[in-house]
Structure 1
Amino acid sequence: MTVLQVPRRFNGPPDSANGGYVSGLLAERHDDTTVTVVLRSPPRLETPLLVRAGQLLDGDIVVAESSAGAFEHEVPRAVPFPVAGAASSAYRCNETFSTCFVCGSARADGLRIEPGPVGEGLVASQWIPDASLPLGPALVWAAMDCPGGWSLPDMVERPAVLGRMTATVADLPEVGEHCVAVGELHGEQGRKAFASSAVYGADGRLLGRAEQVWIRLK
């Protein structure tokens, strides 16, 4: 058994942890290379959470469950760093996500991943990791979280939260490396939306890839 505690810096919504980051922390404790994490309840910040038998528990509440995962789609294509930077000029965040550690435009200490359109159903953003961040697999999971979500249309007016994420991390970025995060929409069914994402290093190497199910808020 392991106890995790997510610092307040790594929030998604204002009062809970970023789903991709928490999923990555849980996946780090899994034996499989590709892991699927299903989020069942908002992970509380600054709260001891117990990892047991692939589950993340907050007392008797199941916060998340992990299992071996597999991909259904091709990895989203890489986008040149300058193109990703230009795409971010179209990024518009709403109040729900403005303080998100990954995509929040109000966060000077966040990842500042601000995806904008670069093609039909495809978004991209620059990402330059800084020395204040723990450059582990969970951070790459976090960087792959929001790009998938921002590939959904009308995210400002019809926000969605992460419900399930399958991901693998192949390599880690260096501090100051000019990385690119991309997200691609695969369709919607009712309140569910399906997307994939990836992070590429400055030399074009694939740092990680993910597939996600997003749930539109009522």
Structure 2
Amino acid sequence: MTASDPIIIDSRFRGPDGMGNGGYVSGVVAEAVGGPAAKVRLHAPTPLDRALQLVRDASGARLMDGDRLLVEAEALGKPLDLDPMPSPPGDEAIARAKAHFPTAEQHMAPRCFVCGPLRDPEEALHLITGHDAASGLAADRWVPRGDLGGANGLVATRYVWAALDCPSYFATGLVDTPALLAGIAAQVQRRPAPGEALTVTGWSLEADGRKLHSGSVIHDESGHAIAMARALWIRMDEGL
């Protein structure tokens, strides 16, 4: 049986100008799949402020713009192919990473819902996960606000996926090079509560030409990994 619902990705949740943040959109579609883990493929940028269709059936969920497939998701069905960091980085490592975060002029998406330096922290995640070359990590602290709460008062899954997204971009070492999220698989062990003290960390896995693979993880205050993801980024610059 197939079910279809209209959905609009509000411009609040943009990534690069004119398109939805890949992690947030992936989380929206993953919510339609249900379960703790999902695999998402992004086929085309998601337009903002326009009626789209979220289609669910036995195989998973798809985000459609008319006949055009934008995003598809399915249950992961196996353990995530990622060895998470055993513990979050300390204050010094996070400070070094944040010090290397790009300026608004350097940033490829300065109005991004997750990491945009031009966004008001009161209405965006505002994760400043700069990349520390010495440790190879991109990291920042995250205390989710109350307006991110979903079912049972916990942070909605889509925001957990969003928080796992941009740190995995900066973990590749890119600063102002445009790259788009092409795929992400995530496992959410538990959804955090608003106001909970968290650490978000990204690290590089491998690179193959324009294809960049990276991981990201969210640790709670006790050092437990509560969510993790493996991402595929595609560089959009020329000359590779």
Q: TM above 0.5, one fold?
A: yes
2:29 to 21, 26, 29: 26
Q: How many Å apart are 1:216 and its aligned residue?
A: 0.2
Q: Residue 101 of structure 2 is aligned with which of 79, 86, 91?
A: 91
What is the letter of the counterpart of residue 118 of structure 2? A
Sort the Cα spacing of 1:50 and 1:113 in 2 relative to 1 into closer, same or farther, 3 A.
same
Specify which of 94, 118, 124 is matched with residue 139 of structure 2. Answer: 124
Question: Which letter does structure 1 place at the counterpart of 2:192?
Answer: P
- Aligned partner of 1:45 in structure 2 is 48
Aligned equivalent of 1:161: 180
CA contact (8 A) 2:15 2:114 kept: yes
Q: Could you say what secondary structure the match of 1:36 adopts? A: strand
Shift in Å at residue 85 of structure 1?
A: 4.2
The one-letter amino acid paired with 2:143 is I
Structure 1's consecutive aligned runs of 4 or more residues displaced over 6 angstroms after TM superposition are none
- Give the structure 1 partner of residue 125 of structure 2: 111
User: What are structure 2's unaligned runs of at least 5 residues?
Assistant: 150-154
- Equivalents in 2 of 1:113, 1:36: separation in Å? 23
Could you tell me how far apart the structure 2 residues matched to 1:197 and 1:161 are? Answer: 16
1:117 CA drift (Å): 3.6
Instruction: Tell me if 1:140 matches 2:160.
Output: yes
TM-score by length of 1: 0.91
Q: Deviations over 1:59-82 (max 9, x none)?
A: 111010112324222013432463
Q: Distance in 1 between matches of 2:31 and 2:145?
A: 21
Percent identity between the aligned chains?
31
**1:151-209 Cα distance to aligned partner (Å, 9 max, x none):** 112332x2211110000112222222221101010111011000010111222232211
Bigger radius of gyration:
2
* Alpha-carbon separation, structure 1, partners of 2:71 and 2:220: 29
Which amino acid in the other structure matches residue 208 of structure 2? Answer: Q
Match status 1:213 vs 2:213: no
Give, in angstroms, the shift of residue 26 of structure 1.
0.5
CA contact (8 A) 1:76 1:196 kept: no
1:179 pairs with one of 198, 208, 232: 198
2:197 maps to 1:170: no
Q: What amino acid is the match of 1:122?
A: L
Paired with 1:183 and 1:18, the residues of 2 have a C-alpha distance of: 17
User: Is the Cα contact below 8 Å between 2:108 and 2:175 reproduced in 1?
Assistant: no
- Asked whether the equivalents of residues 171 and 206 of structure 1 are also in contact (C-alpha less than 8 Å), the reply is no
Structure 1 position 147, deviation (Å): 0.6
TM-score, with length taken from structure 2: 0.83
Number of residues of Structure 1 aligned to a counterpart in Structure 2: 217
- Offset at residue 120 of structure 1 (A): 3.7
Matches within 5 A, 1:66-85: 66-69=73-76, 70=78, 71-80=80-89, 82-83=91-92, 85=94
**CA deviation vs aligned residue, 1:86-110 (integer Å, no higher than 9, x gap):** 1312211434221101011111122
Change (3 A) 1:121 1:82: closer
Report the Cα distance in structure 1 between the residues aligned to 2:45 and 2:28, rounded to whole angstroms: 15
